[in-house]
Structure formats: structure tokens, C-alpha cells
Structure 1
Amino acid sequence: MTQAPIDVYSWATPNGHKVHIMLEECGLPYRAHPIHIGKGDQFDPGFLKISPNNKIPAITDPLGPDGQPISLFESGAILVYLAGKTGKFLPTGDRERYEVLQWLMFQMGGVGPMLGQAHHFRLYAPEKIGYAIERYSNEAKRLYGVIDKQLSSHPFIAGDSYSIADIAIFPWLRSWENQGIVLADYPHLKKWFEGIAARPAVQRGVKVLADLRQPLTGDKEREILFGSTQYQRH
């Protein structure tokens, strides 16, 4: 059966890029629908039906596991789904599979939230809070150190093979300068990063919707992303 395009509701952010890269790596047909998070598209009732947490990305696959449409939110869950659908980038052996999944959870529970906070307090917070900047910048350095140590004895995050763990972590490290990181301080990570960045599918993936993203400058956008709008019930 021919695969109909997967609809991807996304924006040019690290979490969005994870899914864009995975789709490119797997060679799956897809259509990217911009969810402009600075304008509040994430609160649209239609989007909330497939992403009740009002976060990007989300997907709708017209050909789900039972042949029926399926919608998914949470980028990590989408990566696992696409790996299962295609048989790519997630090993089938139990030991190897759990090795990948633990590093995926490391990204979802640590790298994403902590580097996101580093971005916020270093770049976007309306006031500079020294304690917060120091705390999250130091946590960024700690996480980079964990990754660098892992890569000192493995070519990829979860072992010998490129996997969804690499796909999940890479986009979050693209803004290393904004996180207060000197990439040369992490030589194993730097080598891995440059290798991932050179992959053609990765290069295509990070371009998806990128031309629509603009620097965050307006007070209205800041309020939508960081203010009371986030905490209303939608």
C-alpha cells in the first residue's frame, strides 16, 4: 500500500526539527503545516484536538498501525512511532533498543527542558536573573559533559549505530553558543555534532519551516509564549 503523506504540524524549533529530520531520514512523504507559536496557532481548537498540551510538533498519519489514521503529539513518541513504522533507527534487539530509549528519555527529560531554560533566562526573560542564568548555564555544561563522555567510547549516542537518540539530541545542541557553551571544550561531542550536521537528511530537516521563523522581538509574541496566555484553559 502506498504511503499517503504524513501531516506534520510544527515550527522551526529543536523539537520540531527532530521530527522533520526523522521523516527525511526515513524517506517518508510528508506535508509540513506551520504552527506559528508566536502568533498563538498552538491554541487553535483544531490543533488542540491532536496536541492537547498545545505544543509542537504533532502528526497525523493517514495510514496508522491498523490501516486507520492516527494522530500523535510529543516529539519523542513521534520518533518511536516513525521508527516502528519504518523499522529504522531503533534496534529490534531488547538490549540495544533499551539503550537507545534511555538516551531518548535523557533528551526528553533533561536536555530539552534544561537547555530550554538556559535559552529562556539567557535570552528571553524580561529581566536578567543571575541565579537562574548561572544555574541553567551550569546545567547545560553538565549535560554536554555527559554526552561528551558517552561519545568518548561510542561513535553515536547510544552505541555503534545512528538512532533516534542522535536525532533527538542534535537539534538541541545547534544553539550551543546561546547556552553559554564552548564547543571545543567537548571534543568528542564536537566531532559527533559535525558528523550529524553533515548528513544530507539532517540538512534538509533543519530547513523545514526555517524561512518562516523570525527573531522574537514583539511584546505580544513574548506574552503568548511566556505570559498568561500559556496558563489559560483552552
Structure 2
Amino acid sequence: MIELYYWTTPNGHKVSIFLEEAGLDYKIFPMNISKGEQFNPDFLAFAPNNRIPAIRDMAPADGGAPLGIFESGAILEYLADKTGQFLPKAPRARFEVLQWLYWQMGGLGPMAGQNHHFVQYAPERIPYAMERYVKETNRLYGVLNKQLEGRDYIAGEYSIADMASYPWIVPYERQQQKLEDFPHLQAWFARMSARPAVQRAYEKAKAINSAPTVTQDANKILFGQTAR
């Protein structure tokens, strides 16, 4: 049994997609980040960055106590190794996947996230910041589009790199991007959207949070944090 501590964000979707694809037994524990549930001490005990997603593997391979893991990229890599799925063992193929997983973690996710923030949520419109992140998102779409030329999936075979990147492309309209400008990415996006496991993951998200909104109070929780 995998316990998934989750909310309906792109990073949350990555892990639910994997769990659906792998057919693992799992239970979702919704963490409403707009209400501050990510600061629950029990959650912080294994997710000290107070961010979702996180998991607890109730039956780790070493037979020991439940194993908690935070950071979506680390979770995907752990689950891939646990199940022997979606991450090759041969070094060349493995690092083809991992470099694109880390590309998403270090590039596409953070840059698209800043795009979301300044375009959608910032209390004042800052043209320079908006243009900066919309353009960088566009550049990254171009990188992914080029990689997908002649490939069905990012690293050739379907992998955790695809699961990590897809949820960050889903809100392309909010990111002020046009998929038709990126034909190889657009074809991949349609391919991903048609996967039954991806559809199941997003249906579960709708059941948990059917109408995502960020209120003024939620803004203070999500965007106003300090070390204190």
C-alpha cells in the first residue's frame, strides 16, 4: 500500500498518474494546500518542505518501518525502481529518462509555475515578470517540441519523464501558449491525454477538487510564507 498525500496540482498529478499506470495499491490523503493542511505536524514529519506531493510506502523493500518520501521527482524515481516500470535499468536509457525528469523539475515546472503566479495570482500586474516567464515557458515548450520530433514519448519509450512533464503542459492556455505552434509536442499531448491511466488520475482529481480556486486568504497561505 502506498499512501499518497496529494492535492490537485501539476506536481500532485505526476504521482497519481504513475500509481494508476503501475496498478499499485494506493490510498489518497487529500491535503488542501489552500487551507494550510500542508503544515500539519504529522505531514511535516516526512515532508519537511511543507509541499505536496509526498508518499509513505507502507511496505518498503527492506521490510522496515513505513518510508516517507517528498519531492515529486524523487517519488517517481523511487516508485519506478520499486516496481521496475517506466525507468530503464541500462545506464544510457536510464539517464536519457532521468535527464528529462530533472529538466522538468528544474526548468519546465519552476518556470511555468512563475508564469502562473505572475499572470494569474500576483496582486499587481508586473509586465516585465509576466513577459519574462511567458517567454521562458515558450522557450521550454520549444525544447520539448524538438525532443519529441520522431518520438512517441520524450525518451523514446513511455517513462516517468512523460508523467512529470504532461501535467505542466495541461494548463497551456493559462501559460499563454498555443499547442499548434509546437506540432510534435501537440501530438504527444494528445497521445498522453488518451492514455486510460492518465484519464483515471484526472477523474480522481475532479472528485477531490472539482473547481480549483485560489482565494485572497489562500493567497496568503500559498505565497506569503517565510521561515517563521
Q: TM-score range by the shorter chain?
A: over 0.9
Letter in 2 for 1:169: S
CA-CA distance at 1:211 after TM superposition: 3.2
Cα offset, 1:208, TM superposition: 2.5
Count of aligned residue pairs for this structure pair: 226
Q: CA deviation at 1:130?
A: 0.2
- 1:231 matched to 2:190: no
| Among candidates 203, 210, 213, match of residue 206 of structure 2 | 210
Contact 1:12 1:208 in 2 (8 A): no
Per the alignment, residue 102 of structure 1 pairs with 99
Residue pairs, 1:108-119, within 5 angstroms:
108-119=105-116
Tell me the equivalent position of 1:57: 53
Q: List structure 1 segments (4+ residues) > 3 angstroms apart after TM superposition.
A: none
Residue in structure 1 matched with residue 71 of structure 2 by the alignment = 74
Specify the code of the residue in structure 1 equivalent to 2:37.
D
Contact 2:34 2:214 in 1 (8 A): no
Tell me the residue number matched to 1:140: 137
Q: Is the 8 A contact 1:140 1:179 kept in 2?
A: yes
CA spacing shift, 1:231–1:210, aligned 2, 3 Å: farther
Cα distance in 2 for residues equivalent to 1:207 and 1:50: 27
Length-normalised TM-score, structure 2: 0.96
**Shift of residue 210 of structure 1?**
2.8
Residue segments in structure 2 that go unaligned for 5+ positions in a row: none
Offset of 1:206 from its aligned partner? 1.8
| Equivalent position amino acid for 2:53 in 1 | P
1:4-35 CA deviation, whole Å, 9 max, x = no partner? x2110010100000000000000001000010
Deviation at 1:212, TM superposition (A): 3.4
Partners of 2:212 and 2:124 in 1: CA distance: 18
Quick one: distance in 2 between partners of 1:217 and 1:22? 27
Q: What's the counterpart of residue 166 of structure 1? A: 162
Deviation (angstroms), 1:149: 0.4
- Structure 1 unmatched runs, 5+: none
Q: TM-score, normalised by structure 1?
A: 0.94
| 8 Å CA contact 2:3, 2:28 repeated in 1 | yes
The reply to whether residue 44 of structure 1 matches residue 44 of structure 2 is no
% identical aligned pairs: 56
